[in-house]
Chain A
C-alpha cells in the first residue's frame, strides 16, 4: 500500500492557533486543508513534514459572504462544490463557479478547498510519480535530485501551474488575504505566484491564506474553459479564463489569464488590451484569440502534445469570448484548430 509518512497532527480551531503553530514549528510543519493535493504528494514522498497543521476545524474560514454589489469574500476552507453551485457566483462571477465545478471529480470537489486549490503544487510528468518510479528514472531537481528531466541543462524547474480556479479568480481581479506571524496583508493574484516550478508561490511559507476577495461585479462577465483528456478526474493541461467589463456591448476593461501553460498562471495582456473599446465581433474575436496564443508556451511535461495545447489556447479564447458576448457557440472546432 501507499502509506502516508508519519507526522504529528496539530488541529487548529482559529486562525490565531494556526499562526501560532506555524510560528512555533517553522519549516518542520505544513498546512493541510482538504489534503487532496498534499496527501497524494506525501504518499509519493514529495513532502515529509514532521507536523501537519490542520485547518479543517477553523469555522471562520468557511463560507461565502457579501454580494455582487459590494464584492464577495470566500473563506479559504470553503469546499469547491459549494462554490460551483453558489447562486451569486453563478450569476456574477461565472468563471469562478465554472472553474470550481471542473476540478477533478465530485468526491474531490467536496473534500478540496479553494485555499488549497489556489496553493496547489505545480505538476510535471516526471514529478507526479511514486518514490520508486522517480528513483528508477533518476530524481529531478523539484525533489531529491539536481537536474531537470524535461529540459536537461536548464537551471530551473518548469513544473506546470495546475489550478483551475487561480486563472478565473485572477481574471476577475481577485485578491487574497494572507495572515502570518508578521501580521496581515492583502495582495493581488498577479503577485501571489512566481514563474518557478519549485518556488511557485510568492507568499511566505508561514503565511496562511484566509480569504479570497472578489471585487464588485460591476458589469464584469467571465468564462472559464478547461482542456483535459477525460471529462472527470484530470487536472487542466490548459485553462483559459476570460473576463470583460461591458458597457452595453462595448468592452471597457478585460483580462485574459491562461492556466497550465507555465509555472504560474499567465496573463495575456496584449490580447486583453486589444478588446478594450471594441464590440465583440467575429473579427475582434479572431484577432484577440491569435494574440492570446502568444504567451501560451506550454512545455512537453503534461498530457497532450505542447503544440496542440498552444493551438487550443486560440480556440478556447475565441469560445470564451463568444460566451461572454452571448454569441452562438461555434461547432467548427477542427477548422479553428487547423
Chain B
C-alpha cells in the first residue's frame, strides 16, 4: 500500500507517493532521482548513505520517510550554492580527499554537521565525528586534512566578516 508523503529535501518540498516500507535512501535515489546519496551495505555498517535530518547525520538506509515529514533533509546535492562548491567540497577536490568517491557524499555531510557545531575541531574531534564513515581508498589522512583545511578557511572568512 502506498502513502502520500511530503518531504523537504534541500529546501524544496516534494510530494511523493511511495510504499511505507521504502527507506529514505530508496526514495531519494529512486523517486526523487537524487543519486548523490550512495547505497553501500544498506545495513548501517558503512555510512556512505548519510544525509542530514535537521542538521543531524542520519543513515538513510535505516530511516523511514514516513517518520520524517516536517523535518529538513539535506543531501550532498544541497551543499553547493549555485555554481559555488561548499568549502568542504572545495577542500576535498584540492587535496584529493576523494579517490573512487563512493564514501564522499556521506563524509562531506557528516563533516558539515561537525563544523556547524564545532567550527574549528581538533584532529581527534574530526576523527571521532567521522568514525561512522568507512573509506576503502584514501586511508583517511587526506579526508582529515581536507576537513581541517575547510574549517580553517571558513573560520578565517567568518573572522574577517566574509561569507560563512
> A110 touching B56 by the CB < 8 A rule?
yes
Question: Which residues of B are found within 8 Å of A2, using beta-carbon distances?
Answer: 42-43
> B43 touching A233 by the CB < 8 A rule?
no
Task: Indicate if A181 sits at the interface (CB-CB under 8 A).
Answer: no
Question: Which residues of A are found within 8 Å of B84, using beta-carbon distances?
Answer: none
A44 to B44, CA, bound (A): 13
Option from B20, B39, B132 in Cβ contact (under 8 Å) with A107: B132
Question: Which residues of B are found within 8 Å of A5, using beta-carbon distances?
Answer: 21
> B43 touching A107 by the CB < 8 A rule?
no
A5 to B23, CA, bound (A): 11
> A56 touching B67 by the CB < 8 A rule?
yes
> B62 touching A1 by the CB < 8 A rule?
no
Task: Indicate if A231 sits at the interface (CB-CB under 8 A).
Answer: yes
Task: Indicate if B31 sits at the interface (CB-CB under 8 A).
Answer: no
Task: Indicate if B47 sits at the interface (CB-CB under 8 A).
Answer: yes
A305 to B115, CA, bound (A): 40
> B44 touching A36 by the CB < 8 A rule?
yes
Task: Indicate if B75 sits at the interface (CB-CB under 8 A).
Answer: no
Question: Which residues of B are found within 8 Å of A232, using beta-carbon distances?
Answer: 131-132
- Stretch from A6-14, A63-71, A238-246 at the B interface: A6-14
Chain A window 1-44, contacts with chain B (Cβ cutoff 8 Å), 1 for yes, 0 for no: 11111111101000000000000000000000001100110011
Task: Indicate if B87 sits at the interface (CB-CB under 8 A).
Answer: no
> A1 touching B42 by the CB < 8 A rule?
yes
> A54 touching B67 by the CB < 8 A rule?
yes
> B67 touching A107 by the CB < 8 A rule?
no
- Closest CB of chain A to B50's CB: distance in Å? 6
- Closest CB of chain A to B82's CB: distance in Å? 29
Option from A4, A44, A108 in Cβ contact (under 8 Å) with B59: A108
> A108 touching B67 by the CB < 8 A rule?
no
- Closest CB of chain A to B25's CB: distance in Å? 9
A125 to B129, CA, bound (A): 29
Beyond contacts A9-B3, A35-B64, A39-B44: 13 other A-B pairs, Cβ-Cβ < 8 A, are: A6-B21, A7-B21, A8-B20, A9-B66, A35-B62, A40-B43, A40-B62, A106-B128, A107-B44, A107-B57, A107-B132, A108-B132, A233-B45
Report, nearest first, the 8 A-B pairs whose CB atoms are least far apart: A105-B132, A232-B131, A40-B43, A107-B132, A2-B42, A4-B21, A9-B20, A106-B132
